[in-house]
């Protein structure tokens, strides 16, 4: 595409230049006064701009650079003195040039404008994603560019934010942090990863009202993001620990003092919190791939959460990043080995007809042979989700359930089992293909094998998710949507996804029991499902009182410890514990 120049792009789009635009004119540049120390004010403006930008340019009306400063070598492969006379458009990859034109047009029209991510050309390596901000002063145009993790936008389906702190979740953090660190190391710059432990934060929140506690967490989140290298690479790892990626030059003591001041100001007692901080040794980061670095960061965060309260010292974070990557890889490989060798078994929990106490079907839950006595499998499942291994595990579980069903009589549907599918797995083509192959090879599972969609928040494409669900239903397999009522998106899912059953989240049921209008809300929810032809399961039914509550709200089925804990031996549910709580049919 030919270079049209700065105003050329604007005029070709039939937009008048600033002088004839029907709007307030762009502000006039201040006179070039000289400060008391002899330096012109322009130096001050440059310094202020560098609080946000990595590169600064001035260009003339034709769109050619007349001035450049900043990290031009690492970014563009040229020194600042070699850039004047270069077309601004030519700094970007060809496919980005229409967007660059739109950006320049915005600067011309409004006097100032910023844009989404653009990609700079580099003599070596991949293009660099940058954010741009432009300003028009008289006949001169100024543009600031700031490095931004462009690939993060490709993973928006994995991003969620804490509603209190505003910080991104672990998976998004590991992606953005590893991208940012890798980009900086590729340019010869250094980044740091630090963890802050706010001892006493839990006690402080207990002394505050709900609103005041939320405000404090929001301010802590703002402070961390403000000091993060890209304004977003920070996350919470536990109730009182936070981590961020930052410039190696960050004054960590100043950041901890800032957060201590926030806590003291919020505390009625004036005590605040005690902050301990430690930084990860990044020596050797330049030799790591982005994928390996992400695994190492995830391993570190998982270790903090897993060992919280068990004497795990923050000082242990000083471990070298390459050591964490090695440990993370070992844990990934260990989990893969558990799955491939089948070192787990199926425990079943009954789903019971609320009218008569008959077992409708069982939910298949995993238990690991390697688990310590009483250890929850939640850690393994969370690890699989965070490391992208959950689809392998979901398939292995489906095979285990088919194997279990194959040992039961096939001439009736007394033995029906629902196996979990993570919303993440639905988007993995190899999983979908393998699951349908498993069903095709075992046609006798029709009417016996059911599916329960968990982690529905991971489904970014509801249309594709519904197509996956309908393919299973057409083959004679009922589908249940788990965790219903736990979030505002539940109704969107119910509208977009055609399912046979929804499982009402246990937390939603407990909240409904506490709230004055809870019974009316839950009753309205079950009525809506009935009108849609969708049955309901109430989970976490652990007391007779809760059973009576959901029965009054007209739920169809119940599941919970009141009727026994999950077991590999279904004879434990015959007779069903607490069967006397149901009205049995008479012959």
Query: What is the tens place of the pLDDT at every residue in 427-436?
Result: 888 899 999 9
Mean local confidence (pLDDT), 21-44 = 41
Would residue 361 count as lying in a domain? yes
Give the burial string for 155-190 (b: 16+ CB within 10 Å, else e).
Answer: eeebbeeeebbbbbebbbbbbbbbbbbbbbbebebe
Confidence bin at 583 (pLDDT 50/70/90): confident
Question: Do 430 and 565 belong to one domain?
Answer: yes
Question: Do 267 and 223 belong to one domain?
Answer: yes
Question: Do 379 and 502 belong to one domain?
Answer: yes
Res 358 pLDDT > 60: yes
pLDDT in tens, 496-532: 899 999 999 888 898 889 888 888 989 998 999 999 9
Question: Do 127 and 211 belong to one domain?
Answer: no
Residues 6+ apart with CB under 8 A from 59: 6, 65, 66, 88, 140, 141, 142, 143
Question: Do 366 and 448 belong to one domain?
Answer: yes
Mean local confidence (pLDDT), 222-238 = 82
- Flag the least confident range among 85-89, 368-372, 451-455: 368-372
Highest averaged pLDDT of the listed ranges 33-37, 292-296, 403-407: 403-407
Range of the domain at 92: 6-148
Question: Do 328 and 356 belong to one domain?
Answer: no
Does 224 or 178 have the greater pLDDT score?
A: 224
Long-range contacts: 565-572, Cβ < 8 Å, 24+?
565/349, 566/347, 566/348, 566/349, 566/363, 566/365, 566/367, 567/347, 567/348, 567/349, 568/345, 568/346, 568/347, 568/348, 568/367, 570/348, 570/350, 570/362
Question: Do 364 and 329 belong to one domain?
Answer: no
Residues 6+ apart with CB under 8 A from 393: 339, 366, 381, 384
Question: Do 125 and 202 belong to one domain?
Answer: no
- Flag the least confident range among 45-49, 113-117, 145-149, 321-325: 45-49
Q: How many domains does the chain have?
A: 3
Would residue 392 count as lying in a domain? yes
Does 439 or 74 have the greater pLDDT score?
A: 439
Would residue 156 count as lying in a domain? no
CATH of the domain at 239: 3.30.70.270
What is the residue-wise DSSP string for 118-154?
Answer: EEE--SSSSPEEEEEEEEEETTEEEEEEEE--GGGGG
Would residue 155 count as lying in a domain? no
Res 126: pLDDT: 57
Q: Name the domain boundary from 281, 308, 333.
A: 333
CATH of the domain at 388: 3.20.20.450
Res 460: pLDDT: 66
Res 33: pLDDT: 37
Q: Name the domain boundary from 286, 312, 333.
A: 333
Question: Do 257 and 321 belong to one domain?
Answer: yes
Q: Count each helix (H run) and each strand (E run) in the chain, helices first.
A: 19, 18
Would residue 153 count as lying in a domain? no
Would residue 289 count as lying in a domain? yes
Of 445, 446, 450, 392, the closest CA to residue 420 belongs to 450
Would residue 586 count as lying in a domain? no
Question: Do 376 and 245 belong to one domain?
Answer: no
Res 80 pLDDT > 60: yes
pLDDT in tens, 98-145: 878 878 877 777 777 776 577 888 765 556 778 888 888 767 788 888
Q: Name the domain boundary from 148, 181, 198.
A: 148
pLDDT in tens, 390-419: 888 899 999 999 999 999 988 777 899 999
Res 549: pLDDT: 95
Res 5 pLDDT > 70: no
The Cα-based distances of 478 to 406, 420, 445 in angstroms read: 18, 12, 11
pLDDT in tens, 471-487: 999 999 999 998 887 65
CATH of the domain at 53: 3.30.450.20
Res 304: pLDDT: 64
Round the average pLDDT of the chain to a whole number and report it: 78
Would residue 502 count as lying in a domain? yes
Question: Do 381 and 500 belong to one domain?
Answer: yes
Question: Do 508 and 561 belong to one domain?
Answer: yes
Of 453, 310, 433, 285, the closest CA to residue 372 belongs to 310
């Amino acid at each position: 595409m030919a270079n049209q120049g700065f105003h050329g792009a604007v005029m070709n789009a039939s937009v008048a230049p600033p002088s004839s635009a029907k709007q307030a004119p762009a502000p006039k540049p201040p006179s070039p006064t000289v400060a008391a120390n002899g330096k012109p004010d322009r130096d001050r403006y440059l310094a202020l701009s560098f609080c946000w930008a990595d590169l600064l340019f001035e260009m003339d009306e034709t769109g050619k650079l007349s001035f450049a400063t900043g990290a031009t070598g690492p970014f563009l492969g040229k020194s600042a003195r070699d850039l004047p006379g270069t077309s601004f458009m030519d700094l970007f990859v060809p496919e980005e040039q229409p967007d660059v034109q739109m950006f320049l047009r915005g600067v011309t029209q409004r006097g100032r404008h910023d844009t989404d991510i653009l990609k700079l050309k580099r003599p070596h390596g991949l293009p660099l994603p940058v954010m741009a901000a432009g300003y028009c002063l008289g006949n001169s145009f100024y543009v600031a560019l700031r490095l931004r993790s462009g690939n993060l936008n490709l993973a928006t389906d994995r991003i969620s934010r804490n509603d209190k702190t505003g910080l991104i979740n672990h998976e998004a953090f590991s992606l953005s942090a590893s991208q940012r660190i890798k980009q900086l190391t590729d340019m010869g710059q250094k980044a740091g990863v630090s963890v802050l432990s706010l001892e006493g934060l839990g006690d402080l929140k207990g002394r505050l009202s709900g609103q005041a506690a939320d405000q404090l967490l929001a301010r802590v989140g703002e402070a961390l993001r403000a000091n993060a290298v890209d304004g977003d690479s920070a996350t919470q790892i536990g109730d009182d620990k936070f981590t961020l990626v930052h410039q190696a030059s960050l004054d960590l003591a100043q950041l901890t003092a800032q957060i201590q001041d926030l806590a003291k100001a919020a505390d009625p007692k004036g005590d605040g919190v005690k902050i301990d901080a430690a930084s990860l040794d990044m020596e050797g980061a330049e030799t790591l791939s982005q994928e390996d670095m992400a695994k190492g960061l995830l391993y570190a965060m998982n270790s903090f959460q897993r060992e919280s309260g068990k004497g795990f010292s923050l000082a242990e974070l000083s471990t070298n990043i390459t050591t964490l990557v090695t440990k993370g890889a070992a844990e990934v490989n260990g989990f893969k080995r558990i799955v491939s060798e089948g070192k787990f078994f199926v425990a079943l929990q009954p789903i019971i007809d609320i009218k008569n106490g008959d077992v409708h079907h069982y939910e298949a839950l995993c238990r690991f042979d390697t688990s310590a006595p009483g250890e929850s499998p939640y850690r393994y499942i969370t690890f699989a989700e965070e490391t992208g291994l959950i689809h392998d595990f979901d398939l292995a579980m489906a095979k285990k359930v088919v194997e279990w069903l194959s040992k039961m009589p096939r001439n009736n549907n007394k033995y029906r089992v629902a196996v979990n599918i993570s919303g993440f797995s639905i988007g993995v083509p190899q999983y979908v293909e393998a699951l349908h192959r498993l069903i095709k090879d075992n046609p006798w599972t029709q009417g016996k094998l059911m599916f329960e969609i968990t982690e529905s928040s991971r489904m970014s494409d509801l249309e594709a998710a519904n197509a996956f669900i309908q393919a299973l239903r057409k083959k004679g397999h009922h589908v249940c949507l788990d965790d219903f009522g736990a979030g505002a998106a539940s109704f969107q899912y119910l509208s977009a996804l055609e399912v046979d059953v929804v499982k009402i989240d246990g937390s939603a049921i407990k909240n409904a029991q506490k709230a004055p209008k809870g019974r009316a809300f839950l009753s309205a929810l079950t009525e809506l499902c009935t009108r849609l032809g969708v049955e309901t399961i109430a989970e976490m039914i652990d007391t007779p009182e809760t059973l009576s509550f959901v029965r009054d709200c007209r739920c169809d089925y119940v599941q919970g410890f009141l009727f026994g804990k999950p077991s590999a031996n279904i004879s434990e549910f015959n007779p069903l514990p607490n069967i006397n709580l149901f009205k049995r049919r008479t012959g």
